[in-house]
Structure 1
Amino acid sequence: MLRGKLGKKAMAICLAASSVLLIACGGSTAQESGTPDSSAKGTEVASEEAGTNFEGKTIEIATYLSGDTLSAYKQVIADFESETGVKVTLDEYGDDYESTMKTRMASNDLPDIFETHGWSLIRYKEYLTDLSGEAWASELNNAALGVIKDSDDKLYALMTTGSCLGTAVNMNVCNAACDKIKAAGYTPVANYFTSAGALANANGSWLSYEGEQFNDNEAMLNGTWDWQNFGVILDYLQTWFDNGYLYEDCGTIKQADVIERCAQNECAFVVGIGASFQTAVVAQNPEVKMAMIPICASKEGGARFCGIGEGASFGIWKDTDEMEVCKAFLNYVSQNADGINAAAGEISTLPCETTKSYGMQLMEEMESHYPDVFYDNLWDRKYMPSGMWSVFQVAAGMFCEDQSDESKAEVIEYLKENYTDLYEAAQE
């Protein structure tokens, strides 16, 4: 059970990690990366295995995808069925995906193929097939491997798209530093506290990586973390409030509001956001020049990283009766993922795109300026027990309303208590 009061606003706490931008990046930004190319065409190359006749075979696939991405996925499935004779039963679990899959894991009755959505190593791997020997495995880029490659080099999912959480930069209004941007009449940092995901995973650059101020990884993972080092992040975040670097309504604005303001050249940075945000900005105003930079280190020699989340990622149940068919399907997806990638609006982790997405353009441009950037799983998935997402939301509202020393102490205690409860519950 979550402790403490409920807040109306979300994610203020995790904004603290965005301060790495000012400390380590200064005025350094990547150059413009162009605008989305709407002429992308899906590849029609079918794999040798997918061309095999599997007439009469049936497989079950579970998905949490929605909207245009789901429509694109359905088209790939339909094409696979047409070419192979396989009948695919698609389970669309939507918002019930997590609870449904946990129930099916408990009974060891899983779909032949299911989406791992960020948990291929952390939650699902004991139920999945090692796919490191598949032809497409060697094609995955570093962004994907940083998340789905196990310590023994095994892979349990085909990752076709991913979210790359870095720092979105509006080049039209970006001068050297936040004070100059504010003095010029713009809002330096356009982060919003109503989103559960925009900044939660930026904390890791301060607390979890070699060369940083703290390296609390072991304590986070074994349930003994006391959260006291989190106070440094809150102290720095307070200066953002004090200096007026944030929108006055940052506790209530939504992502759609920030997209619109960025498209109108009102703000400079959004930290801990994926390429789909920038794609949406440029879609509203093609004249806006956007770039991506890492979530930078908090000090010299620290870690510059991007948090990567599995997007459309598919694994095979290790006990499936149709292993050959399932592997043929994943191989087919690996060569026909253009439509899925385009609809997702994020980055592709396979080289099958006939035209590079806007997100890939941004990421490759970033890597040319920051060759030392590294990719890791989203911080909360890797280091926090399940259930901390909503805890961060409540704590964010607490801090957004009051940045006093007393409030910071209450926030840390609230986080610690719920972290301890959830960790202990996970061990039962």
Structure 2
Amino acid sequence: MKKMRAISISLVLMLMILAGCSSSGNGGNASGNSGGSSGDVTLTIYTTTNDTAAQDTMKSITDAYTAEHPNVKFEWQFPANDYENILKMKMAGNDMPDIFDTHGWSKVRYNNFVADLRDQEWVPNLSESMKPIVTDDQGKVYALPLNAAKDGITYNKGILDQYGIEVPQTLDELIAAGEKIKKESNGEVTPFFFSSTDPASLAQYFDMMATPLLVSAEKNHAQELLDGTFDWNNWTPLPAKFKEMYDKGLMNEDVFTARTSDRPQLFAEGKVAFSFSAPTFVPDALAINPELKVGIMPLPSIVPGDTPTFSGGERYTMAAWKDGKNLDIAKDVINFFGKPENLKKIAEVTGTPSAMSNITPDLGIYTEYYEKYKDIRVFPYFDRVYLPSGMWDVMQTTSAEILSETMTPEESSQFYKQEVERLKSQQK
């Protein structure tokens, strides 16, 4: 009996010791001094960036963190155009990455999944324009904005100079510029680059140009879009212009097979003039052709009497999954990314402004353009304000269908109406 009691006591002590070791290995200590394999942590990070230079910069920052905290490793994921669907599945399974990019939806789609970052060191430095985007009235901070979006059209300045083209102010002027480039280059230069294999590049046109069509003019449809009374026939001019660009041969001929990863090479070789996107791909193009001249222009107006605009908001962000088992470490990593020297690197490599008031990045070739257009109006991305969550998928699929002629511009407008009503009813 005494022998059995002794064995039982020994087993209890052993279980207590093992429990203690397990607890110390998962206590959120990122000091790197916990010792042993039980203290090792691997955090998953999902981001929307597709550009190699930006990805490498972000990885270098996590490498620096690991150098200070050897027990913390990172698993980066760059799902590209699959990002949104993957995150939706992860939300449904309540199995989110430790750190993830909220891509403009921190307060609407991801609000129940993100931890509050209000106590982080970078928060007091949020720019006035960024505060309402990543914070709420109760003071919750949803994500760290790694940079800011002030997006228009990126263009090959050398091509515009060669063919004597001034920066277009209206969409009709932009299309006319495309026709001039195609004609005078004998078809050697493609005016507009799009990729159906990465349908986000198609949807980006609609998301950007919807504001000039429906919101930025003095007489606009903003309130109707918000209160549900909008007549979706008024959307039709946007897909109609998109189809016109395609029918006139102003898009790359391989639009259905090209990949966005092809764009830097084409820009570097002077084979593409315009891209409806931020200049985040330009560092890759400059690595191929250091002599490349690139410009940034606002989005051209559509409504008579209106003026050009930019689409804005956060570009890339970092949010922490509030139920992550390594939440404390994830938040510490985000705080590390929020150091001024790290945010400056990200702004510079992506060629975009900082979201912080205390950081002035050297934007090199872009500086003159952001200075030139400093007084141009900036509107939030259209889908983040006026469309329900889930419409990005619709924007992507209908864009491709318009080009393949399985859907007319008029039919796409009615499909938008149907899907907006369906998604809104689901989200009540």
Smaller-chain TM-score bracket: 0.5 to 0.7
* Matched positions, count: 369
2: distance between equivalents of 1:392 and 1:401?
15
Query: In the alignment, which residue of structure 1 is the partner of 2:158?
Result: 172
**Structure with the larger RCO, 1 or 2 (CA within 8 Å, 6+ apart):** 1
Query: In the alignment, which residue of structure 2 is the partner of 1:413?
Result: 414
1:83 to 46, 63, 68: 68
Query: In the alignment, which residue of structure 2 is the partner of 1:337?
Result: 342
Question: Cα offset for 1:138?
Answer: 3.7
* TM-score, reference length from structure 1: 0.67
Question: Cα offset for 1:278?
Answer: 2.5
With over 3 angstroms needed to count, the CA separation of the structure-2 counterparts of 1:105 and 1:340, relative to structure 1, is: farther
With over 3 angstroms needed to count, the CA separation of the structure-2 counterparts of 1:157 and 1:182, relative to structure 1, is: same
2: distance between equivalents of 1:220 and 1:237?
21
Question: Cα offset for 1:211?
Answer: 2.5
Question: Cα offset for 1:156?
Answer: 1.7
Determine helix, strand or coil for the equivalent of 2:273.
strand
2: distance between equivalents of 1:343 and 1:367?
13
Residue 388 (str. 1) matches residue 372 (str. 2): no
With over 3 angstroms needed to count, the CA separation of the structure-2 counterparts of 1:197 and 1:164, relative to structure 1, is: farther
Query: In the alignment, which residue of structure 1 is the partner of 2:265?
Result: 260
Q: Which amino acid aligns with 2:273?
A: A
Whether contact under 8 Å (1:118, 1:309) holds in the other structure is yes
2:143 to 157, 161, 164: 157
Whether contact under 8 Å (1:207, 1:213) holds in the other structure is no
Query: In the alignment, which residue of structure 2 is the partner of 1:190?
Result: 192
Residue 232 (str. 1) matches residue 237 (str. 2): yes
Whether contact under 8 Å (1:164, 1:346) holds in the other structure is no
With over 3 angstroms needed to count, the CA separation of the structure-2 counterparts of 1:77 and 1:421, relative to structure 1, is: same
**Deviations for 1:70-128, whole angstroms, at most 9, x for unmatched residues?**
6655554454355357x447565664875675566568776665443432122223443
Determine helix, strand or coil for the equivalent of 2:290.
coil
Residue 296 (str. 1) matches residue 311 (str. 2): no
With over 3 angstroms needed to count, the CA separation of the structure-2 counterparts of 1:368 and 1:146, relative to structure 1, is: farther
2: distance between equivalents of 1:414 and 1:253?
26
Whether contact under 8 Å (1:205, 1:305) holds in the other structure is no
Query: In the alignment, which residue of structure 2 is the partner of 1:19?
Result: none
Equivalent residues in 2 for 1:71-150, closer than 5 Å: 73=58, 76-77=61-62, 79-83=64-68, 87-88=71-72, 90=74, 95=79, 113-132=99-118, 134-141=120-127, 144-145=130-131, 147-150=133-136
2: distance between equivalents of 1:73 and 1:291?
25
**Deviations for 1:250-286, whole angstroms, at most 9, x for unmatched residues?**
4544334444333222342222x12123223322222
**Deviations for 1:176-229, whole angstroms, at most 9, x for unmatched residues?**
36154344326473132513222242133234534256323x444555544211
With over 3 angstroms needed to count, the CA separation of the structure-2 counterparts of 1:372 and 1:146, relative to structure 1, is: farther
**Deviations for 1:345-367, whole angstroms, at most 9, x for unmatched residues?**
4536367999957xx33553322
Q: Which amino acid aligns with 1:329?
A: V
2:311 to 306, 310, 327: 306
Whether contact under 8 Å (1:146, 1:375) holds in the other structure is no
The CA RMSD measured in Å over matched residues stands at 4.4
1: distance between equivalents of 2:370 and 2:140?
26
Determine helix, strand or coil for the equivalent of 1:125.
coil
Residue 398 (str. 1) matches residue 370 (str. 2): no
Question: Cα offset for 1:338?
Answer: 6.4
With over 3 angstroms needed to count, the CA separation of the structure-2 counterparts of 1:153 and 1:339, relative to structure 1, is: closer
Q: Which amino acid aligns with 1:285?
A: N
Name the structure where helix makes up a greater proportion of residues. 2
With over 3 angstroms needed to count, the CA separation of the structure-2 counterparts of 1:184 and 1:105, relative to structure 1, is: closer
Residue 64 (str. 1) matches residue 55 (str. 2): no
2: distance between equivalents of 1:353 and 1:279?
24
2: distance between equivalents of 1:115 and 1:365?
29
Residue 275 (str. 1) matches residue 279 (str. 2): yes
Query: In the alignment, which residue of structure 2 is the partner of 1:284?
Result: 288
Structure 1, unpaired ranges of 5+: 1-50
Determine helix, strand or coil for the equivalent of 1:347.
coil
2: distance between equivalents of 1:248 and 1:112?
41
Whether contact under 8 Å (1:169, 1:269) holds in the other structure is yes
2: distance between equivalents of 1:220 and 1:338?
35
With over 3 angstroms needed to count, the CA separation of the structure-2 counterparts of 1:143 and 1:196, relative to structure 1, is: farther
2: distance between equivalents of 1:370 and 1:343?
18
Q: Which amino acid aligns with 1:393?
A: Q
1: distance between equivalents of 2:320 and 2:401?
42
* TM-score, reference length from structure 2: 0.67
Question: Cα offset for 1:368?
Answer: 1.2
**Deviations for 1:35-55, whole angstroms, at most 9, x for unmatched residues?**
xxxxxxxxxxxxxxxx99585
2: distance between equivalents of 1:114 and 1:305?
26
1: distance between equivalents of 2:117 and 2:290?
40
Q: Which amino acid aligns with 2:65?
A: F
Determine helix, strand or coil for the equivalent of 1:269.
strand
Determine helix, strand or coil for the equivalent of 1:240.
helix
Deviates more, 1:109-118 or 1:380-389: 109-118
2: distance between equivalents of 1:120 and 1:68?
25
1:205 to 181, 200, 211: 211
Q: Which amino acid aligns with 2:191?
A: V
With over 3 angstroms needed to count, the CA separation of the structure-2 counterparts of 1:263 and 1:74, relative to structure 1, is: closer
1: distance between equivalents of 2:220 and 2:134?
25
Q: Which amino acid aligns with 1:170?
A: N
Determine helix, strand or coil for the equivalent of 2:153.
strand
Structure 2, unpaired ranges of 5+: 1-28, 167-172
Question: Cα offset for 1:295?
Answer: 1.7
Whether contact under 8 Å (2:243, 2:403) holds in the other structure is no
Residue 372 (str. 1) matches residue 384 (str. 2): no
**Deviations for 1:270-314, whole angstroms, at most 9, x for unmatched residues?**
22x121232233222222200111223324344501344532x22
2: distance between equivalents of 1:319 and 1:251?
40
